[in-house]
Amino acid sequence: MIDYTKADFAGRTGDIDLVLETVGGEHAHSLKVLKAGGVLVALLNVPDSAKAEAKARDIRVERMSVVPDRAGLVELGKLVDAKKLAVHVAKTFPLEEADAAHAFLATKPIGKVVLTV
């Protein structure tokens, strides 16, 4: 595993079968490390230009999306209560400072940004 905030992962690896891209906006770097026949799984939208590059290099692009439902959220709550799942909160803002929270998101923090009411 390479921390993308501390190193250029595209320059440190290659011939990868699968990239799970959770950050977004790193499509060009992700495509550089995938080998022909590889798969890019993205949690966010992939622009058409990246899809075209992937197709030209025989790389499959898939988008993974999860729609929360009550049962799933209850299970996640149980995992948190059992200390088997931890949520990392990067920073908390009062609702009145939503604009500051939005600006903070632009810095691509690691963890969740929470508005308190």
Per-residue pLDDT tens for 10-43? Answer: 778 889 999 988 877 778 888 999 999 999 999 8
First-to-last C-alpha distance (Å) of the chain: 36
| 61 close to 46: Cβ distance less than 8 angstroms | yes
pLDDT of residue 22: 82
Pair of tokens at residue 64 = 């993974």
pLDDT single digits (tens) 56-109? 999 999 999 888 899 999 999 999 999 999 889 999 999 999 999 999 999 989
For 63, how many CA atoms within 13 A lie in the half-sphere containing its CB?
10
Helix, strand or coil for residue 11? helix
Query: Cα–Cα distance between 77 and 20 in angstroms, integer?
Result: 24
Question: pTM (2 decimals)?
Answer: 0.63
Residue at token pair 């060009």: 28
